Structure 1
C-alpha cells in the first residue's frame, strides 16, 4: 500500500518519474541477467543473454545521462512491474529442473521482461517527442529498437528450444 503519492502535475513530471522507473528497471535487469546466463544450457540463448546484458548496461548509462541532463540527478523510483517479473523469473527458474524446460522458461521470462521494456520505452519516446526533447526521443527510440530486436531474437531461439523441450 502506498502511503505517499508522487505529485505528478504535468507531462514533464510524469516523464521524469517514468525515466527514473526505467533506470531502476534496467539496473534490476543487469542484476538478474548473470543468473539467467548461468542457468541457460542452450549456447545461443546464453549468448543472447550475454549480449543483452551489455546492451542493458548501455541502457543504464543512457537513462542516467538523460536524467542528469533533465534533472541534474540520476535517482531512481522503484519499478514494481519489473520487480514482479524478476521475482517470477527467479521462482520459475528454480522450479524447472530439466535443462530444456529451464531454457524455455528462461526464454518466456526474458520475453515478458522485453515486452515490458518495449512498452516503457515506446511510451517514454512518445512523451519526449511531445515535450520537444528531440535528443531524448532519439536515444529512447534507439533503446526501444534494441529491446524489439532482443525480443525477436528470443522468439527465433525459442523455435528450436521449444521443440527440444517437447521431445
Structure 2
C-alpha cells in the first residue's frame, strides 16, 4: 500500500496533499472535541477543550484561506493518522470508569492530536517557504503557535492536577 497517491510527483503535489491532509484532520478534530468536552469533568481540562474548539474553527478558516491563496478548492483527503489517534482516544475513553483516570486519558489523547498537528504545520511552513509562499507560511506559523500553546496548557493541567488525581 502506497503512503501517498500516485498523483504526487512534485513538491507542489506533495504540498497540496499535505494541506488537504491537515484540513481533513482539523475537520475531524472539530467533530471530536465536543464529545471530549462532554466527557471531561476537570474544569480546567473542559475549559481548555472549549477554547481549543474555538481555535480549531479558526484553523479551518485559515486553511480555507490557504486554499484560496493557492487557487484550490477547500477539500480534505482522508488522513489515517488522525483517524487512528481519534479512534484510539475513543476506545480508551470508552474503557475507563474512574473519572479522574478518564480526564488524564483525555488530556493524553488531546496531546497526541496536538503533536500530530505540530508536525504537519511545521512541514507546511518549510514547504511554503521553499515554494515561495510566504503568506501561506505566515498563516501556518500562527496556527502552529496556537497548537504549541494548547499542548503546553494540556501539559500544565495534567502535571498540576490530572495525573496526581488519577
TM-score where L is the length of structure 1: 0.95
Q: Could you tell me how far apart the structure 2 residues matched to 1:30 and 1:48 are?
A: 14
Q: Could you tell me how far apart the structure 2 residues matched to 1:71 and 1:111 are?
A: 32
Moved over 2 A (4+): none
Root-mean-square deviation (CA, aligned residues, Å) is 1.2
Unaligned ranges ≥5, structure 2: none
Q: Could you tell me how far apart the structure 2 residues matched to 1:142 and 1:135 are?
A: 11
1:56, CA displacement in angstroms? 0.5
The answer as to whether partners of 2:69 and 2:136 remain within 8 angstroms in 1 is no
**Partner residue in 2 for 1:119:** 119
**Partner residue in 2 for 1:137:** 137
1:60, CA displacement in angstroms? 0.6
**Partner residue in 1 for 2:37:** 37
- Helix, strand or coil: the match of 1:73? coil
Give the number of aligned pairs: 164
Question: Over residues 110-135 of structure 1, what are the superposed CA-to-partner deviations in whole Å (9 max), with x where a residue is unaligned?
Answer: 00000000000000111001111010
1:72, CA displacement in angstroms? 3.0
- Helix, strand or coil: the match of 1:71? coil
**Partner residue in 1 for 2:165:** 164
TM-score where L is the length of structure 2: 0.95
1:105, CA displacement in angstroms? 0.3
